[in-house]
Amino acid sequence: MKSEMAERLLNGAVENTDGDDEGSDLKRRVWTEMKLMWRIAFPSILARVTSFGVMVVTQSFLGHVSELDLAAFALIQSILIRFVNGILLGMSSATETLCGQAFGAKQYHMMGIYLQRSWIVDFITATIMLPLFFFTTPLLNLLGEQADIAAVAGKISLWCIPFLYNFVFSLTIQMYLQAQLKNLVVGWLSATSFVFHVVLSWIFVYKLEWGIAGALAAMNISSWSAVIGMFVYIFGGWCPNTWKGFTLAAFADMWPVIKLSISSGVMVCLELWYNSILVLLAGYMENATVAISAFSICLNICAWEFMVCLGFLAAACVRVSNELGRGNAKAAKFAMKVILSTSIAIGVFFWILCLIFGRKISYLFTNEEEVADAVSDLSVLLAFSILLNSIYPVLSGVAVGAGLQGTVAIVNICCYYVIGIPLGVVLAYVAHLEVKGLWIGMLCGVLTQSLVLLYITWKTDWEGQVNKASERLNQWFLKPSNELN
């Protein structure tokens, strides 16, 4: 029933959009598109903000235990977890492309097959990366990080292994559900797990005084509680059209899915690794503990707001992929304009808030005045990073919806690793701007990326993308009777 309602809503959007040549009311078209956008974006924002908030809350509790624990967790979160999350989030975006286009083309039974294929690919990928968690301390020592921080980080990394496998299922299921406009359940499950995490952390850290172990145990328990809820929703019969049970068909045609997953992984992880490398570089500065803590606090604030923007990325991806699957390029272009305008307006709001409350934010994470001063010094740069966050994620979502991940991956390499990081290193270590220099370099890379993605979106032949989407879906299509349950 919900799939039928979603289909009628999509049909309404298409009819309103197609009426452009007949002088249909622009306000009505925008309103219809806004309803579709928020139906996808709000649950996605709720899910991403609260799921990322689990890590932010963990960092906050550890920051009030000791400054060393804060710096060690900052390294693990900003480098190791972000590294792994970048790969798995990127590879999972293949699910977003395929399920979105399959839903638009009414190939509903294929969505469950694509989901299972993504589980297989992501599970194998996560297992390959396990050694990073077992050998964290020697790896950080090899990279030249301070020995005491590396030692504590090695203990924390082992606790993060269950959290690693949480990504395999949570990311792919969210993309599978949002492609069929059913991701509200993901939002509420994530919000519930966030509240559960805050309560557990308070009990484990303050009442039972379990320290690092308590904070990380609460993180694992709360994150897996949301995943279990998603399994119950899918297997319990709430996705009757798209989930037909486990099938051997999931193992067929794996290579094309792997290729799309790899290009998706490269596209997204290059964005997330960008910040991780900058945190790593901050560890080589004179007062590394303060530098890492301040830089990671600012990055966490930026990344937490970025979760809001990822909601619009999801909306852009779903709307563009749905309309390309339906064969309507005009509706896809109209959707991206509405979503980008809304995202920028919200970005301006957060930009103003950050300029006003820049210093006060730091006290959520630390009581150290030296760290708070360093965060305050970065607040203006943080505000402009938040503003840019409202632009390039939407454009990346458009690229994912159209299956252009490979092109964006090349853009990310050039903007981040040819422009952003080298410029940041020069400003930090040659011009002696230290952390501020790293952040200026990061901003220049992001600004260049945003401009290039705007140009690519403007020059893209969207009628050609409709044809490519149709070819892709026809190539991988399996009739329902061919499924091997």
How much is the pLDDT for 264?
A: 65
How much is the pLDDT for 116?
A: 92
How much is the pLDDT for 286?
A: 66
How much is the pLDDT for 188?
A: 92
Q: What is the pTM of this model?
A: 0.74
How much is the pLDDT for 166?
A: 92
Domain ranges of the chain: 37-477
Q: Please check whether residue 395 is in contact with residue 340, taking contact to mean a CB–CB distance below 8 angstroms.
A: yes
How much is the pLDDT for 19?
A: 44
Q: Which long-range contacts (CB under 8 A, 24 or more apart) does 420-424 make?
A: 420/274, 420/444, 420/445, 420/446, 420/448, 421/274, 421/277, 421/278, 421/445, 424/278, 424/281
Rounded to whole angstroms, what are the CA distances from 72 to 160, 196, 280, 374?
13, 24, 12, 18
How much is the pLDDT for 225?
A: 94
Q: Phi/psi class of residue 77: alpha, beta or left (left: φ > 0; alpha: ψ in -120 to 50)?
A: alpha
How much is the pLDDT for 283?
A: 64
What residue type is 111 in one-letter code?
M
Cα separation, 399 vs 397, in Å, equals 5
Query: Residue-wise pLDDT tens for the chain (485 aa)?
Result: 445 545 555 555 444 444 444 445 788 888 888 988 898 888 888 888 888 888 888 878 887 677 788 778 878 887 788 778 878 877 777 787 788 878 888 888 889 998 998 899 899 989 999 999 999 999 888 877 788 888 888 889 999 999 999 999 998 998 899 888 888 898 899 999 999 999 999 999 888 888 888 989 999 999 999 999 999 999 998 999 899 888 888 787 777 677 767 766 666 666 666 666 766 676 666 666 677 777 777 877 787 787 788 788 888 888 888 888 788 888 888 988 899 999 999 989 988 888 887 667 777 666 677 777 777 777 888 889 889 888 888 888 887 777 676 777 788 888 888 898 899 889 888 888 877 888 898 889 889 989 998 888 888 888 887 787 777 667 666 766 544 44
The secondary structure of the chain, three-state, reads CHHHHHHHHHHHHHHHHHHHHHCCCHHHHHHHHHHHHHHHHHHHHHHHHHHHHHHHHHHHHHHCCCHHHHHHHHHHHHHHHHHHHHHHHHHHHHHHHHHHHHHHCCCHHHHHHHHHHHHHHHHHHHHHCHHHHHCHHHHHHHCCCCHHHHHHHHHHHHHCHHHHHHHHHHHHHHHHHHHCCCCHHHHHHHHHHHHHHHHHHHHHHHHCCCHHHHHHHHHHHHHHHHHHHHHHHHHHHHCCCCCCCCCHHHHCCHHHHHHHHHHHHHHHHHHHHHHHHHHHHHCCCCCHHHHHHHHHHHHHHHHHHHHHHHHHHHHHHHHHHHHHHHCCHHHHHHHHHHHHHHHHHHHHHHHHHHHHHCCHHHHHCCCCHHHHHHHHHCHHHHHHHHHHHCCHHHHHHHHHHHCCHHHHHHHHHHHHHHHHHHHHHHHHHHCCCHHHHHHHHHHHHHHHHHHHHHHHHHHCCHHHHHHHHHHHHHHHCCCHHHCCC
**Six-digit token string for 452:** 């290039």
How much is the pLDDT for 21?
A: 47
pLDDT digits (tens, 9 = 90+) for 306-334: 778 878 888 888 888 888 878 888 888 89
**Six-digit token string for 326:** 């339906």
Rounded to whole angstroms, what are the CA distances from 22 to 323, 388, 462?
20, 36, 21
How much is the pLDDT for 217?
A: 93
